[in-house]
Amino acid sequence: MTRMGMTRERAERLADEELMPLIGTRDPEAFAVFYDRHGGAAYSLAYRIVGERGAAEDVTQGAFVSIWRSGARFDRTRGSVRAWTLGIVRNRAIDSLRSRARRAPSLDFDDEGILERRSGGVPTEEEALRHETAGELRGALGQLPVEQSKVIELAYFGGFSHAEIAQMMGLPLGTVKGRMRLGLEKIRAEMAEGVV
């Protein structure tokens, strides 16, 4: 355990994967750089899911604190640091959403509300590059047939199980899962082709 050594400048030169072991040794500078790189995306994702600023802040804070407290147990075999971090944020946001709702989704649930929920904040300049990429990815999602993008968004951003989605949309279970697969495969194929 140490609080010495790493300067901000040096930490900024490190890749995410190199920062993780340092965060594991409770290096505050490494943690600060890690937050500065991913805090914006984490907050944006949390807000997209919970739809409320206070709750989004709580989710983001909880995710980063859990990473700090747990010693950043990152497993590089399961993807990038950023994807791992945003996965933690997503899970916490869904938990927050569920704990606030405390009820199973009803048949008259307005799924359009989830799909249309959009941010009201101001994008930062420093994230312009990622923003551009995000715009392309939104384009990829937008290019999916609506029946595929809808089940993907309800699952990923709404936290609904395939059974709940099937009930809401009046579809067989297998159809929902099939649409999820087709949608993901299409996004993946476009990424592989460099479209995204």
Partner 1 sequence: MSETGHERWNDEVAAYMLGALEPHEVEKLERHLERCELCRDQMRWLRPAVGALPESVERLGPPPGLRDRVLGEAEIRPRSSAPLRGLRGRARAWLGGFGSRGRGWRPAFAAAASLLAVGAVMLIAFEIGRLSGDYVPPTSTARAGEAPAIAAEVVREGSHGTLRLENVPPLEDGKVLEAWVQRGKVTEAVPALFVPNRERRAWTMIEGMRGVDAVLVTEESRGGSEVGTPTSGPLVRVEMPAEES
Q: Interface residues for partner 1 in 55-94 (CB under 8 A)?
A: 57-58, 60-62, 64-66, 68-69, 78-80, 82-83, 86, 89-91, 94
Return the residue of 14, 21, 156, 171 that touches partner 1, per CB under 8 A: 156
- Calculate Rg over the CA atoms of the chain: 18
Smallest gap from residue 108 Cβ to partner 1 (A): 21
Among 147, 59, 155, smallest CA distance to 105 is for 155
Token digits of residue 74 = 């990152």
Cα(58)–Cα(46) distance, integer angstroms: 9
- Stretch of 12-20, 107-115, 182-190 contacting partner 1, by CB under 8 A: 182-190
Return the residue of 19, 47, 74, 109 that touches partner 1, per CB under 8 A: 47
Closer residue to partner 1 in complex, CB, 18/185: 185
* Binders of partner 1 in range 131-150 (CB under 8 A): 131, 133-134, 137-138, 140-141
Smallest gap from residue 79 Cβ to partner 1 (A): 5
Instruction: Rule CB under 8 A: say whether 160 interacts with partner 1.
Output: yes
The footprint of partner 1 on this chain (CB under 8 A) covers a number of residues equal to 80
DSSP state of 72: -
Smallest gap from residue 141 Cβ to partner 1 (A): 5
Cα(149)–Cα(192) distance, integer angstroms: 19
* Binders of partner 1 in range 5-44 (CB under 8 A): 26, 28, 31-32, 35-36, 39-44
According to DSSP H, which parts of the chain are helical?
Answer: 8-12, 16-24, 28-50, 53-69, 81-101, 111-116, 128-143, 146-156, 162-169, 173-192
Cα(82)–Cα(37) distance, integer angstroms: 9
Using an 8 Å Cβ cutoff, are 115 and 144 in contact? no
Smallest gap from residue 107 Cβ to partner 1 (A): 18
